[in-house]
Amino acid sequence: MALVLNEEQSMLKDAAAGFLAEKATVAHLRELRDSGDATGFSQDVWKEMADMGWAGIAIDEEFGGLGYGYTGLGLVLEQVGRNLSASPLQSSVLIGATIIAELGDQAQKEQFLPAIASGQSIVTLAIQEGAHHAPSQIATTAVAGGNGYVLNGSKRLVLDAHVADTFVVIARTSGEPGDTDGLSAFLVDAKADGVAIEQRSMVDNLNCGALTLNNVSVDASALLGSEGGAASGLNRTLDIANIGLASELLGVSTEAFERTVAYLKERKQFGQVIGSFQGLQHRAAELFAELELARSIVLKALQAIDSGDESLPVLASAAKAKLCEVAQRATNEGVQMHGGIGMTDEHEIGFFIKRARAAQHTFGDYNYHLDRFASLNGF
C-alpha cells in the first residue's frame, strides 16, 4: 500500500484540524482544568464530534460506524494531539470499541458498537493493575459462580473511568500472575454492585481513574470471547491502541516542535533572534529529521492495521517506541528552547510535555515497547 493519504483521508484530516483548532484547544483544556470540570471534556463538543461520525470512524458500517478504518481514526487522533483536545476518542472509540469488535459475538457487537458509534455510550478498558503496563501480571480473578462469574481485583489507569457506562475488565480465569494464558475479558456495567470508581488526577489533566471490583457478579453473557481466550484479541487491541496513541503523540510532538521553531524566529537575545544560532539550529534540524521518521512509521503502522498485515505487533511496538522517544525529545527541547517562559504555567508549551508523558506511559512506554520490539525481532 502506498504510504500516502488518499483524498478522503486528506479531507478528514483537514476537517479534524479545522474543527479541533476551534472547539477543543489547549485553552479549552486549561479552562476544564482550572474550573475543576467534573466531566473533564465538553459534552457539547463530544456530541458534535459524534454527529460528524468520528465516534464510529473505525467501526464497521454494519454496526453504525463510518467504516473508514484505523488510518482515518489515526489522522483524527493526530489532530487531537496537536490541540490537546479532551474527549473519549481514545478510551471509547480507539480502545473500547476495538476490543468489542475483536472479541465480541454478534449480539454483543450489536448491543455495544452502535451505541459507541453514536457517542451515547462510553466503553473503556480496565487492564493495568500495577504502576507499569504488564498484561501477563494480571491478578484480578473471575471465578465461575451465580449465573456466570464473580470478579475480584483492582485496576488503575482506566481512561475516562468516571464517565464510562461499561468497563471491559481483563481478569484471570485460570493460572497465576506471570502466566500469559488464562486471561478473559468481561463486560461490566459501571453501576453493578461491588464496582467502586475513584477519579484520579494525572499530570495531563485528562481523565483516568481506578476501579475496585469487590465480588462483582456478571452473567455468562458478559464474557467477551471464550473463557481464557482473550489473549489474541486483547493483543491486537493493545497494538491498535498503541498505534493510535502514537498518532496522538505525533500530533503532540509536531505541534510542540512547530511552536518552538516559531519561537526561535521571534525571541531575541544578544541583539539577534536566537534561531540564528547554529547550536540551536542543528538541534532543531535533527528533531525535524526524527519527526519525519516518526510520521512515516505511524502511517505504516496505521495502514498495517487496516490491511491485516501480519507484522502488526512489531510495527505497533516500533511506532509506539519511536513516538515515545521523539515526543520526549520534542517536548523537552520545547521547554528548553522556550527558556524561562517555557517553565511557566501561563505558557502553553508545558501542556504538551505533560500530555506527552501520560500518553507515552499508557499501554507501555518506550522501555516496554523497545524490549518487545527486540524480542519480536529475534533478539
Partner 1 sequence: MSDLDQFRQETRAWLEANCPEAMRQPVTGFEDIYNGGRVPEIDHPDQKVWCDRMAEKGWTVPHWPKEYGGGGLSADEVKVLRQEMSRIGARQALDSFGISMLGPALLQFGTQEQKLEHLPPICRGEIRWCQGYSEPNAGSDLASLATRAEDKGDHYLINGQKVWTSYADKADWIFCLVRTDNTGTKHEGISFVLFDMDQPGVEARPIKLISGSSPFCETFFDNARADKANLIGEEGKGWTIAKYLLTHEREMISGMGGAPKKSLGETAVELIGADEQGRLSNGILRQNLAQYQLDTVAFGATMARVGDEVKSGQGLGPASSIFKYYGTELNKRRNELNLAVGGEEALGWEGDAYQGGQVVRDWLRSKGNSIEGGTTEVQLNIVSKRVLGLPDA
Closer residue to partner 1, CB minimum distance, 52 or 284: 284
CB of 2 to partner 1, least distance (A): 4
Contacts by residues 61-68 (CB-CB < 8 Å, ≥ 24 positions apart): 63/101, 63/109, 63/110, 63/113, 63/114, 63/117, 64/113, 64/114, 64/117, 64/118, 65/97, 65/113, 65/117, 68/8, 68/9, 68/12
Q: Does 371 bind partner 1 (CB under 8 A)?
A: yes
Q: In sequence order, which ranges of 2-64 are alpha helices (DSSP H)?
A: 7-23, 26-34, 43-51
The one segment of 12-20, 102-110, 132-140, 297-305 that binds partner 1 by CB under 8 A: 297-305
Using rule CB under 8 A, residue 131 touches partner 1: no
13 binds partner 1 (CB under 8 A): no
Q: 256 has which bridge partners?
A: none
The count of chain residues that interact with partner 1, using the rule CB under 8 A, is 39
Site for partner 1 contains 284 (CB under 8 A)? yes
Q: Which is nearer to partner 1, 52 or 376 (CB)?
A: 376
In the 8-state DSSP scheme, what is residue 345? S
> Among residues 204 and 248, whose Cβ is nearest to partner 1?
248
Q: Does 275 bind partner 1 (CB under 8 A)?
A: yes
Q: Which of 273, 306, 309, 358 binds partner 1 (CB under 8 A)?
A: 273
Pairwise CA distance, residues 58 & 306, whole Å: 9
Comparing C-alpha atoms, which of 196, 200, 199 is closest to residue 211? 196
Residue 12 in 3-state DSSP? helix
Closest CB to partner 1 among 106 and 272?
272
Are the beta carbons of 57 and 93 closer than 8 angstroms? yes
Angle between helices 312-338 and 349-361 (to 10 degrees): 150
**CB 295 to partner 1: min, Å:** 8
Q: Does 23 bind partner 1 (CB under 8 A)?
A: no
Q: Which amino acid is at 301?
A: A
| Stretch of 51-59, 86-94, 105-113, 258-266 contacting partner 1, by CB under 8 A | 258-266
Distance between CA atoms of 81 and 190, rounded to whole angstroms? 28
Range 161-183 burial, b when 16+ CB lie within 10 A, else e:
bbbbebbbbbbbbeeeeeeeebb
Residue from 272, 310, 340, 346 binding partner 1 (CB under 8 A): 272
Contact call for residue 278 and partner 1 (CB under 8 A): yes
The smaller minimum CB distance to partner 1, of residues 113 and 299, is found at 299
Using the minimum distance from each CB to partner 1, give the nearer residue, 106 or 278. 278
Is the Cβ of residue 63 or residue 257 nearer to partner 1 in the bound state?
257
Residues that bind partner 1 (CB under 8 A): 2-4, 261, 264-265, 272-273, 275-278, 280-282, 284-286, 288-289, 292-297, 299-300, 318, 321-322, 370-371, 373-375, 377-379
